[in-house]
Amino acid sequence: MEFSELYITYYSKLVRFAREYVILEEDAENITQDVFTDMWEKRESIDLIENMSAYLFRLVKNRCLDYLKHKAFEQKYVEHIQSSFEIELSLKLQSLDRFDICNISEGNETEVLIRKAINSLPKRCRDIFMLSRMEGLKYREISERLGISVNTVECQMSIALKKLRGKLSICLAA
């Protein structure tokens, strides 16, 4: 069987098969294309393959599994980086005394970014965040001090942390 016949016969079947593993059509197509690229490079030995269908499906399956392993590794790496960043951010926030940007020394850009990000929070969010992270109050203590529910404190902290992560990840990526 010639290469063009292989491609026409198996391409769409292999893409469907790959989608069972990698879900996204684009990823399945890329994996299938890579398999055919490898086959093209080894086209002289195509005639030596006894069961072409089994061979191609095995190649695609192995590529899909490699792809998934790589994605899992990438995800763990991203989670590790985010965790490290959050720990560093938490330590920096604990060391800050005030959030007045005018009093920041020019030498520490990270502190400037953190203070700007905190100052950009809505007032209620910022107040709750500062009481929690700077004064070390528990959510119950914050709710009593501000006359709001513990649930409101939890929600506002969640909003504050999400906004800070977003703003600081954008700033540090730039």
Domains and CATH numbers, the chain: 3-78 (1.10.1740), 106-173 (1.10.10.10)
Question: Highest mean pLDDT range out of 29-33, 152-156, 157-161, 163-167?
Answer: 29-33
Other CB atoms within 10 Å distance of the CB of residue 138? 12
pLDDT band at 99 (very low <50, low <70, confident <90, very high): very low
Q: Give the integer Cα–Cα distance in Å for 73 and 94.
A: 31
Q: Burial letters for 58-85: b for 16+ Cβ neighbours within 10 Å, e otherwise?
A: ebbbebbeebeeeeeeeeeeeeeeeeee
CA distance 112 to 101: 7
| Closest-CA residue to 125 (of 161, 93, 151) | 161
Model confidence pLDDT, tens digit, residues 129-150: 889 888 888 989 999 999 999 8
| pLDDT of amino acid 97 | 40
What's the predicted TM-score (pTM) here?
A: 0.48
For residue 27, give the H/E element and its range: helix 25-41
**Long-range CB contacts (within 8 A, 24+) of 131-139:** 132/157, 133/90, 133/93, 133/94, 134/93, 134/94, 134/96
Amino acid letter for position 155: C
**DSSP classification of residue 48:** G
